[in-house]
Amino acid sequence: MTALTNLLDLDPQQLVAYCGELGEKPFRATQLQRWMHVFGVSDFGAMTNLAKSLREKLTGRAVIVEPAVISDSTSHDGTRKWLLDVGRGNAVETVFIPEDDRGTLCVSTQAGCAVNCRFCSTGKQGFSRNLTTAEIIGQLRMAEFALRKTKGVESGPKGERQISNVVLMGMGEPFLNYDAVVRALKLMLDDNAYGLSRRRVTVSTSGVVPMIDRLAQDCPVSLAVSLHAPNDALRNELVPLNRKHGLKELMAACRRYLEYAPRDAIMFEYCMLDGVNDTDKHARELITLVTDRTNPVSCKFNLIPFNPYPESGLKRSKHERVQAFGKILLDAGFITTVRKTRGDDIDAACGQLAGEVQDRTRLRERLQNSREICTPTDRKLIRVVEEVA
């Protein structure tokens, strides 16, 4: 028996090709895509402007399936987190951060992560697998329509869009799952899907240089780089990928990317680790790095107070230290923000946390006990994305 195709795995071009194989014209693909991504419909029978013959063909060959929600928690400040089942005992987290002028969704791209940054609990849990396009775009689809339902906003183009910005900063290194990520990006940007502006979609990387260049050609969106250190010796320790693609190479790639990027600056993320990378000297070294005469990079800085976890052996920089570090950058003319703490009464993730996902054995137990799934007991301080888009 032929496996059913999950249509959420297909980007706009692929959906046209798929419909072509069924003997259908390209406009049918547009209609189908709008049902899936603009109206949030998964039942072919409800797609009333598709010919009955096409609906019948699809029913036997295709499905529309997004990851199942294991838990759904909302913080007192409106931050909402979903834990999603991505099969075989794996789960990923998706976080929505509402603000006055925007709603940002933080999306995961891998179950676990192989990069193993020293300060990151997702890295410590190891790599399980890449998410499919359906699992990546499915996070946006699930969240957009769940938020609309909660607010009583109708689906379709007339209903007010809830998610204005997407950041690929959840679990995983997006560029190590490049093809699936780019397909999902194309859907995020497509007017017959989510219609987000390139400026409002941000990919965050730990520095996979060849893929920075590829993204510039394939689908340039806003770029954030997890920098965390101003020199190779320290960055080799904190972000092991630096041993393969050192800072000189990374800065050059950032500069090249800016020729195609929808924004005129790269966002450098810098996790503030007490006594490790947070001295005045480090701040000045950072300025030297990005203003290098032969390789200057137009950039902004986002300082992230570290969220400690027991195995890391690292501590969060003191508030005054973060302020002093930020002031040096500001005084040198760089836009610098400090990431806010949000949603401190639910368990969530920001690309550095694995939260409930860390222990997959525990997750299996939770899957068997739906009451526990819906009432997470761990109460951790969460740091969520504040800036970027």
Q: Please give the residue ranges that form the binding site for ligand SF4 (CB under 6 A).
A: 113, 115-117, 120, 122-123, 171-173, 206, 226, 351-352
Residue 387 bears catalytic tag: no
Residue 5 CA neighbour count, 13 Å, CB half: 14
For ligand SF4, give the closer residue by CB, 79 or 122. Answer: 122
Q: What letter would DSSP give residue 333?
A: T
Is 170 within 8 Å of 106 (Cβ atoms)? yes
Shortest distance (Å) from residue 117 CB to ligand SF4: 3
Give exposure, 220-233, as e/b (b: 16+ Cβ within 10 Å): bbbbbbbbbbbbee
Q: Identify which of residues 106 and 182 has a Cβ nearer to ligand SF4 in the complex.
A: 106
Query: Which CB atom, from 138 or from 351, has the smaller least distance to ligand SF4?
Result: 351
Kindly state the smallest distance separating residue 206's Cβ from ligand SF4, in Å: 4
**Residue 355 structure tokens:** 């939260």
Q: Which of 93, 144, 173, 387 is catalytic?
A: 93
Taking the alpha carbons of 296, 297, 303, 306 in that order, is the dihedral positive or negative?
A: negative
**Could you tell me which residues come within 8 angstroms of residue 308 by beta carbon, excluding any fewer than 6 positions away?**
314, 315, 316
Tokens representing 218 are 């394939």
CB 218 within 8 A of CB 252: no
Q: Is 62:4 a contact under the CB 8 Å cutoff?
A: yes
Residue 369 CB, nearest approach to ligand SF4 (Å): 28
Residue 324 burial (CB count, 10 A) = 15
Which of 262, 197, 255, 199 has the alpha carbon at shortest distance from 225?
255
Record the tokens describing residue 102, joined without a space.
């925007």
**Cα end-to-end span (Å), the chain:** 45
**Cα distance between residue 93 and residue 172, in whole Å:** 11
**Whose Cβ is closer to ligand SF4: residue 115's or residue 140's?**
115
Measured between alpha carbons, how far is 365 from 360 in angstroms, rounded to an integer?
Answer: 9
Q: Which residue, 39 or 309, is less far from ligand SF4 as judged by CB?
A: 309
Closest approach of Cβ 140 to ligand SF4, in Å?
Answer: 19
Known catalytic residue at 350: yes
Pick the catalytic residue from 113, 120, 271, 350.
Answer: 350
Query: How near is the Cβ of 325 to ligand SF4 at its closest, in Å?
Result: 20
CB closer to ligand SF4, 162 vs 226 = 226
Residue by residue, DSSP assigns 131-192 as PPHHHHHHHHHHHHHHHHHHHTPPSSTTSPPS--EEEE-SSS-GGGGHHHHHHHHHHHH-TT
Task: Kindly state the smallest distance separating residue 272's Cβ from ligand SF4, in Å.
Answer: 14
Nearer to ligand SF4, 117 or 185 (CB): 117
Q: Which residue is nearest to ligand SF4 (CB)?
A: 123
Closest separation in Å from C-beta 115 to ligand SF4: 4
Residues known to be catalytic: 93, 350
